[in-house]
Chains A and B, each alone.
Chain A
Amino acid sequence: MIRFFLSRLLQAMPVIFIVITATFFLIRSAPGGPFDADKVVSQEVIERLNERYNLDAPIHQQYFDYLSHLIRGDFGPSFRYTNRSVTEMIGAGLPITFELAIYAIMIALIIGISAGMLAAVRPNTAQDYIPMSLAMTGICMPSFLLGPLLVLVFGIWLQWLPVSGWGYSPGDKILPAITLGSTYAAYIARLTRGGMLEVLNQDYIRTAKAKGLSTSKIIFKHALRGGLAPVVAFLGPAIAGLLAGSFVVETIFQIPGLGRFYVQAAFNRDYTMIMGTTILLSCLIVFLNMLSDLLAVWLNPRLTLDAKH
């Protein structure tokens, strides 16, 4: 176990280092800078700003300065919001995005696994075609279309749920969570169906049937664990993707989460903010992938941690 964590950590370090380096130089090679604005600002002001944010130093110097701060856990000040540090802003946005992601993935798992199981039990019948067509629609439908559509139906026509906000009025978390979760529900439904179909064709399912077990017992006791293996493998990257991809939903529903900061930072050339969120997300991806590997080992007695890495 410890060996597994250590080896994963060793593998992750160069990955994250490359992400940091690439991001650092890429954002600086893009045209424009943090203090380019529509307003004409005097040369003197620009120079003083550059000096204050260490932008007048040669680029390699900036890079090493940034790294040395980073090692001490300092993400630096935001270039856009005076007197606010990146750490502070991430600290404010992350919990909200995290909460949204948890709701979304829960919705995705519940809907996706049940739909996939229904489909797998009676393949090539209406019970298969209907949920799978819905899943295909779910995959094809981008959240910037689904979100406003849901708002239109449930918020404006039916007036059941609030149209935006996060924690201001009861029920305002429902629509964003559904919007964000639906694409993943669709993927999970398809993965569950595929995994379950494969397992249900195994000889040991026939053995279970020959023991006199009912269909539901066969599915839940004998098939589900193996059938969910693809879903488990998908879960790590999915949650990370959910966090990174939440900006659309956050924008639609006016949620003050991390995703919105991320996008705004890119538009504003808020260098430190971009760096901070990118590093955070890449760490999360590495961590969540490790978690889903651990889960896969726990589910499947044939795998051991040693054999996984």
Chain B
Amino acid sequence: MVFETRSILAQLATDTRDIMELLNVNNLSIAFDTRDGKTQAVDNISFNVQQGETLGIVGESGSGKSVSCYALMGLIDKPPGHIERGKALFHNVDLLSADEKTMRGIRGKRISMIFQDPMTALNPYLSVGAQIIEPLLLHEDVSRNLAKQKALTLLEEVGINDAASRYYQYPHELSGGMRQRVVIAMALITEPELLIADEPTTALDVTIQAQILELIKDLQQRRNIAVIFISHDLDVIRYMTDRTLVMEQGRIVEHGQSQTVFNSPNHSYTKKLLASIPQQAKPVKFKYTPKKNSPLLSVNNVSISYADRSSRFQAVNNVSLKLAKGEILGLVGESGCGKTTLSQSIVKLINIDRGEILLGELSLHKLNTSELKQARKNVQMIFQDPYASLNPRMTVFNTLAEPLKIHRLAESSDIKKKVLNLMADVGLDPCWANKYPHEFSGGQRQRIAIARALAVEPQLIIADEPVSALDVTIQAQILELLLTLCQQRQLTMIFISHDLAVVRYIADRTAVMNQGKIVELNATETLYQEPTHSYTQQLLSAKLSG
């Protein structure tokens, strides 16, 4: 009797699981052919997705999180990709072995995707309306008129005002956040059962990110669709998901309820990831105590504008700030706020309209060419993208030796020694000196870029989003390196970032920029704990915490 009840219960349990389970991925392995042989991108992973839940997949670049989801959609190019084995059952259809016709019926109809970069995910040649209704016209027997009505309702639902006029606009006429809303509308118009969101907010500003995440969460609950949410951003995953898979090098190293995974991680890699998030304030050992000497850099009432054919755009509006020697100033703000323009005017890559920039005693915008060359040596930049900012045809040695030669900072006999020392300082093995940039990882390349900036022994370093392109564990290492170098060499630094946590970790003082103006400038901890300006408050509240 007891036995019978138990088996009925077990039967019930399997039944409910059958109803609830939308997708079951079993032993999926994917490999890619490369020049150096086979690369195992996904190694024997299994997971399932229940109806109406949000499953997060988190991991660093190359962990296989996106590849496995592209495989489910049949979006992997074969060759070079191979699905070596595995099954992915979605309503009794194996997504991995189904023929192209079956897959076309599922893609865009029952499973939709949202992609990372709304700038490139939309076709620039077609109006947004045409792109939104396309899947509907394709999969369902509806008239163009009805499809348009549905699209307009949906556009309103995803928060686009005056949808009727937006409908006929082209992607380039919309802002980034707006485009992502369009992409979301496009994915939802066929009322799919499963939505795969691949880093949907990574390319967006923090306040926009918060809005888009809120929107996805809201739509997901209202329509009860299942979501696979892929991200490298742990905060976003924690905020968005019910369950989380942590992937490392093609394997799932940890999975469970998101709360559990984040609060009490089991696997060492998860712990490492979580520890890499810069959440706390600047480490005490790097604290800088301002001395009462004259400032190294003074920016006085600087205004910069760009002339358009029809109008002038005020990029920087009457900005003043001072930097003492050895200080790290964080400059935060959203895209288009003028932070990069301001920094470029300090190396005189851009001319200023009004005001004055003083480096020590020198007025930067009154120098002649040779004086300027001398002054530029004292200010060096580190850029966001270490892939683009290094010359791919120069070895590390030549990259680092070049500034020494240009500024005649070393005798030719000394150059080699100097370069090798420099490499050691930034944590690069000196025996790599004859390698080319493509042979290094992103973090190592950023180390090369840092070494190049340090080569001429500058007084001031301007780092423009130096860690935004890096994975979180690498980011932590580079931040640590920058702090150490600044302390050892008494360097002054302007650290530009959109990432509030990173700035809090590294900066002594922080300036918040909005629409060309510095709206708040204060000691970092004071600013983060007691923001006075409404924009700062808005920025800080948009940051996801826990």
Contact = CB atoms under 8 A, between A and B. Distances in A.
Contact of A302 (B103, B124, B309): B124
A212 interface: yes
B109 interface: yes
Interface string A210-244: 11111000000110011000000000000000000
A210 B108 contact: yes
A211 B122 contact: no
B121 interface: yes
Contacts, number: 73
Contact of B113 (A202, A210, A226, A300): A210
A210 B75 contact: yes
Nearest to A306: B309
Given A203-B120, A212-B104, A225 B139 contact: no
A207 B115 contact: yes
B35 to A, nearest CB: 14
A3 to B, nearest CB: 11
Contacts of B125: 222, 225-226, 299-301
A214 B126 CA distance: 17
Interface in B242-259: none
A208 interface: yes
A301 B121 CA distance: 16
A212 B120 contact: no
Interface in B116-175: 117, 120-127, 134-135, 138-139, 170, 172
Contacts of B63: none
B112 interface: yes
A38 to B, nearest CB: 61
Nearest to A301: B170
Contact of A300 (B75, B106, B124, B127): B124
A48 interface: no
B73 interface: yes
A225 B122 CA distance: 14
A213 B106 CA distance: 11
A209 interface: yes
Contacts of A300: 124-125
A206 interface: yes
Contacts of A203: 115, 117, 120-121
Interface string B223-237: 000000000000000
A265 B298 CA distance: 72
B103 to A, nearest CB: 8
B135 A212 contact: yes
Interface string A277-309: 000000000000000000000011110001000
B123 A210 contact: no
Contacts of B134: 208, 211, 213
A221 B139 CA distance: 16
A222 B138 CA distance: 14
B105 interface: yes
Nearest to B122: A204
Contacts of A209: 73, 75, 107
Interface of A is mostly: helix
Interface in B49-78: 73, 75
Max chain B C-beta neighbours (<10 A), residue from A210, A214, A301, A306: A210
Nearest to A302: B172
A225 B115 CA distance: 22
Max chain B C-beta neighbours (<10 A), residue from A212, A213, A306: A212
Contact of A301 (B115, B117, B120, B172): B172
A213 B117 contact: no
Nearest to B169: A301
Contacts of B75: 206, 209-210
A301 B117 CA distance: 20
Nearest to A209: B75
Interface string B180-214: 00010010000000000000000000000000000
B182 to A, nearest CB: 11
A209 to B, nearest CB: 6
B309 A212 contact: no
Given A206-B75, A206-B115, A226 B124 contact: yes
A60 B120 CA distance: 59
B135 to A, nearest CB: 4
A302 B126 CA distance: 10
A212 B170 CA distance: 22
A204 B119 CA distance: 9
Nearest to B136: A211
B139 A212 contact: yes
B75 to A, nearest CB: 6
Contacts of A222: 123, 125-126
Contact of B122 (A207, A212, A214, A306): A207
Interface of A: 202-204, 206-214, 221-222, 225-226, 299-302, 306
15 contacts: A202-B120, A203-B115, A204-B121, A206-B115, A210-B112, A210-B115, A211-B135, A212-B104, A213-B104, A213-B138, A222-B126, A299-B125, A301-B125, A302-B172, A306-B309
Given A212-B107, A212-B135, A213-B134, 19 more contacts: A203-B115, A203-B117, A204-B122, A204-B124, A206-B75, A206-B115, A207-B113, A210-B75, A211-B108, A212-B106, A212-B108, A213-B138, A214-B104, A222-B126, A226-B124, A226-B125, A301-B172, A302-B124, A306-B309
Q: Which 8 A-B pairs have the closest CB atoms?
A: A212-B108, A211-B108, A203-B120, A212-B107, A301-B170, A204-B123, A211-B135, A210-B113
